[in-house]
Amino acid sequence: MLTRRQRQLLATIEEHQRLYGVTPSYEEMRLALGLGSKSGVHRLILALEERGHLRRLPNRARAVEIVRPLVEASRVPVARGDDGNGAAIFRPRFGQVGSEAPPSRSRGRRKEDLAVTSVPMCGRIAAGSPIEALAEVGRDIMVPAECVGDRAEHFALEVSGDSMRDAGIHDGDTVLIRKAETAGNGAIVVALIDGSEVTLKRLHTRKGSVALEAANPAYETRLYGADRIQVQGVLVGLIRRY
């Protein structure tokens, strides 16, 4: 699940490549999205790379390659200007600071685009040092139905901390989790440590031990005996409020 800004950047890259035969530079991306600095572009690219949409190319002026494009690159929802009667469209204009075309209206949305469902919000989870185990289920939140499939197999958590920053997961984000007791190497999981603390980290298994790896160089990778870690779920989506 991509955020609005991530979808806008991916659409920008695809449109530039279609028009000019090459991907845009970081500066061109910044101008097209109206961002104040290239650091914002860098964060978005890291998140898109993490989700398998882009690949960064070292030592290149135009340093990204599209791996998995948007299904409909020309229809990227914008938060404003959407009253439920049509979808606002983001269309990048290259070379103009802060340029964004006026929103246009489609004749209607597909019924499946409007489908939503609810999942339980189960408290906060640490993206930093582990915190105490998950709280009891509180309120439900609404999410796109296509993101979760079977509601009973999913739950949501509020992220606390910045240890998964370089994976595009920030303090205050809401993560959507699919319940699971196992996960593949490299998956981002909810891990229960010693039956009492939970954390959101990337999982690696190593000959009878489990490594919980942060996506922020300020945090060290922690090793545990396999019997100390229980996987509670796997990350499948993220919600961010601007």
pLDDT at 222: 92
Task: Return the pLDDT at 108.
Answer: 47
Q: Which residues are part of the catalytic machinery?
A: 163, 201
- pTM (global) more than 0.75: no
Domains of the chain and CATH, by start? 1-109 (1.10.10.10), 115-239 (2.10.109.10)
pLDDT at residue number 220: 92
Residue 76: the pLDDT is: 40
Q: What is the dihedral of CA 121, 123, 129, 132, to 10 degrees?
A: -130
Q: How many CA atoms lie within 13 A of 198 on its CB side?
A: 20
* Residues 186 and 202 sit within 8 Å (Cβ to Cβ): yes
Each residue's pLDDT, cut to its tens digit, for the chain (242 residues) gives 688 888 888 888 888 777 767 778 887 888 888 888 888 888 888 888 888 888 887 666 566 788 888 754 334 443 333 333 333 334 444 443 333 333 333 344 444 445 778 888 888 888 876 666 555 556 788 887 777 766 678 888 889 889 999 988 999 898 989 899 999 889 999 999 998 888 999 999 988 899 999 999 999 999 999 999 999 999 988 888 76
DSSP string, the chain: ---HHHHHHHHHHHHHHHHHSSPPPHHHHHHHHT-SSHHHHHHHHHHHHHTTSEEE-TT-SS-EEESS--TTTT----SSS--SSS-----B-TTSTT-BPPP---S---HHHH-EEEEEEEEEEESSS-EEPPPPP--EEEEEHHHHSSGGGEEEEEEESSTTGGGT--TT-EEEEEE-S---TT-EEEEEETTTEEEEEEEEEETTEEEEE-SSTTS--EEEEGGGEEEEEEEEEEE---
